Amino acid sequence: MARMHARTRGKSGSTPPLEKIHPDWSLKPKEIESLITQLAEKGSSMSEIGLILRDQYAVPDIKAATGKKLSQIFKEKQLNPSIPEDLGHLIKKTEKLKAHLSENHKDLHNRRRLALIESKIRRLAKYYKKRKELSEEWKY
């Protein structure tokens, strides 16, 4: 499938583990859930937690270990952020672009890029409002 605002197709991000069985040498499910809550309380995002568990604690697959996805664990422990992670990253990107454009008024390429990012934000917000993850009154 092609990218939204580019002509390229892109590559797959990562390959999932071959086995859906949690190995014996890895952490136990309760330890993994406690680590997730500790990291979330420190302020780590879901993607950062996944990377930390994979790289530092050798947890190959959270769902195979606990039987739940990371987002389900976040909902159970009530650790969900007010704005979904992908939407928050796009908003930060627009803030940086607006600061850049305030100094460089004639940068038309980035002015176009800002318009594309803002349309992505509106589309994502509409999606999250349908799924009731954002309140109906939320506006960008």
Q: Give Cα separations from 11 to 3, 4, 61, 64, 108 (angstroms).
A: 10, 14, 21, 25, 28
The single residue listed with the structure tokens 């850049």 is 100
- Report yes or no: 35 and 57 within 8 Å, Cβ to Cβ: yes
- pLDDT tens readout for residues 32-81: 999 999 999 998 999 999 999 999 999 988 999 999 999 999 989 988 88
In the 3-class helix/strand/coil scheme, how is 48-75 assigned residue by residue? HHHHHHHHCCCCCCHHHHHCCCHHHHHH
pLDDT score for 9: 78
For residues 82 and 96, what is the distance between their CA atoms, to the nearest angstrom? 21
Question: pTM for the full model?
Answer: 0.77
Q: Compute the CA torsion angle 101, 105, 106, 108 (nearest 10 deg).
A: 40
Tens-place pLDDT, residues 103-125: 999 999 999 999 999 999 999 99
Residue 39 near residue 49, CB atoms below 8 Å:
yes
Instruction: Kindly indicate the confidence band of residue 129, based on its pLDDT and cuts at 50, 70 and 90.
Output: very high
- Asked whether the predicted pLDDT for residue 86 surpasses 70, the reply is yes
| pLDDT score of 47 | 92
Q: Categorize the per-residue pLDDT at 140 as very low, low, confident or very high, splitting at 50, 70 and 90.
A: confident
